[in-house]
Structure 1
Amino acid sequence: MKHIFKDSQLIVFDLDGTLYEGTEHFDYYARHLMNKLANDVQDTFYKEYEQAKSGNHVVQIGKAYDVNRDVLLSIDPMKLTVTKVEEWDGTVWGEEQIKTFFPNEVNFDFENIVAIGDGWWLPFTVAKHYGIDDCYSSYLATKEYMVTEAFELQAIPGLKEWILELQNQGKTTVLLTNSDKEDVLRLLKELELLDVFTHIVSSARKPSFTVDIFRHLMDQYDVKEEEVISIGDNFINEIAPALLLGMKAIYIQPHETDLMETNTLQIVNKISECFK
């Protein structure tokens, strides 16, 4: 694993699902959303969320969700085109229907089409299916919960030391996340990772702007594509854009995948495998 870092000069990290572990905050978010529903559907809502979390539902991390059509989209991560459309009950659309409604590259606007990139989007997707319009207030309530004594982030032993060692080797470390600046700083403080990164890019709106941000970072730090590594748990958001540009990538994926490792792509169950 360590050989992939040998000639690297710039390491770009994702935050959620990459630099900390655990799902308690996602469960809290789901329960907060659930309480907005009528009592007779709350159990069904939470059961579907649990199924999605365990990978036993049509809603899965790595897909996208069309809020208005209430369908799940499988995306070609290298082209950002739709390869499969599934309705909530598992019904699969035919190719002609896909071409009619999704003829072009998908535009992730985070309102109508959302990339289910991490655990935050599983409760959101199930909530939208059940007709909940206001998910944001539940998201804010969850963020507030995450800074109380009742919640404790699962920090990854050895992570801070490893990132600092990368910097001691002359490498630039950048945090690139969709979370807003206030949330990022709060999480980093909780994880004891504040002031560890050379550069922080928040509210990144991945995957829509991932390629542009990567190019800007390469220009800013005067590095070549092959000298950059992107580390993250979302193939569409962080991995595919890196590979398209000729960068290297480390994909954090705890579940089975059909992807094959190459000279530019390494697959790990968790980030700690990078520094052990």
Structure 2
Amino acid sequence: MEQMIRNGQVFVFDLDGTLYEGTDHFDYYAERLLLDVAEENKEAFRIDYEKMKTGDHPVKIGKAYDVERDMVLTLDPFTLKVVKAENWAGEELSEEKKNELYSGLLAFNFETMIAIGDGWWLPFVAAKHYGVQKCYPRYVETKEYMVTEQFQLEQIPGVRQGLEKLKETKKIVLVTNSDIDDVGRLLKELNLDGIFEHIVTSAQKPSRTVEIFKQIIEQYEVKPEEVVSIGDNFINEIAPALQMGMSAIYIDPLQGDLSHDQLQVVKSLGDCF
């Protein structure tokens, strides 16, 4: 970790799940989406979502979901190629059929091919499975709720001080899928307003991750190995960075078994400082 921080010149941070923690907002999002689920499917939605949170469901963080085929896809974490495809009940496709449908790299978007990179996507995928057409309005409602007095963001001790110290000798950048209004509100709530010298909002990760990383490398005139990507979403922020020759710090409370020369796994961003 020390060598990675010493050698890095530009540090690219995610926002949600990285600069703050907690899962209550995911549950709130699920409850809002539940309002749009047909009455006969509401109980099944609740059961599936609870199973997802405990890891007792085919849908898990780190996988992908094919909305049109209603298939759950297990990915190689570093290449992001499909290694297994199964239906909602966990019944696996044959190797031949899997290769026929998913031979190349997936083209992730926010409608038909979903990268389940963090807790936001579990209720989203459940909603899509049960026929909800538009999830974004409920996401917006959740983000608005997160800056009310009824919700308390779980701030990570020492993060502002750590970022200020890092900023003395390094460049720090924020790249997030949240829109500019959400980012402004959240950074103010987290006492991180004004800390980043460059912010990219509505980043559309993972579909634009590589493009944005290339822009950052060009903007700061650094080599890929001098850039460190920090985030809690392996598909969005970590795998693309490693594929480009960058370093990465993956925030994983469970500290899963992942090994790569340019990768550090930590429980919390606070561990970095």
- TM-score, scaled relative to structure 1: 0.94
SS in structure 2 at match of 1:110: coil
- 2:99 is matched with 99
Partner of 1:87: 87
Deviation at 1:54, TM superposition (A): 2.3
1:38-83 deviation line (CA, Å, top 9, x unaligned): 4453233122112212222111111111111111111234433211
**What are the ranges of 5 or more consecutive residues in structure 1 without an aligned counterpart?**
none
The equivalent residue for 2:21 is 21
Shift of 1:230: 0.6
- Cα root mean square deviation, aligned: 1.5
* 1:158 matched to 2:158: yes
Percent identity among equivalent residues? 54
Aligned partner of 1:202 in structure 2 is 201
Q: How does 1:149-188 map to 2 (within 5 A)?
A: 149-168=149-168, 170-188=169-187
Deviation at 1:216, TM superposition (A): 1.1
1:225 counterpart residue number: 224
Q: How does 1:1-276 map to 2 (within 5 A)?
A: 1-168=1-168, 170-262=169-261, 264-275=262-273
User: Number of paired residues?
Assistant: 273
Which contiguous aligned blocks of 4+ residues in structure 1 show a shift greater than 3 angstroms? 38-41, 77-80
Residue 212 of structure 1 deviates from its aligned partner by 1.7
Q: Give the Å deviation of 1:243.
A: 1.2
Letter of the structure 2 residue corresponding to residue 74 of structure 1? T
- Give the Cα separation in 2 of the matches to 1:37 and 1:217: 41
**Alpha-carbon spacing, 1:261–1:106, altered in 2? closer, same or farther (3 Å):** closer
Distance (whole Å) between structure 2 residues aligned to residue 46 and residue 259 of structure 1? 31
Output the TM-score relative to the length of structure 2.
Answer: 0.95
Matched position secondary structure for 1:251? strand
Identify which range, 135-144 or 117-126, moves more after superposition. Answer: 135-144
Equivalent-residue separation in structure 2 for 1:241 and 1:148 (angstroms): 34
Deviation at 1:143, TM superposition (A): 1.7
- SS of structure 1 residue aligned to 2:229: strand
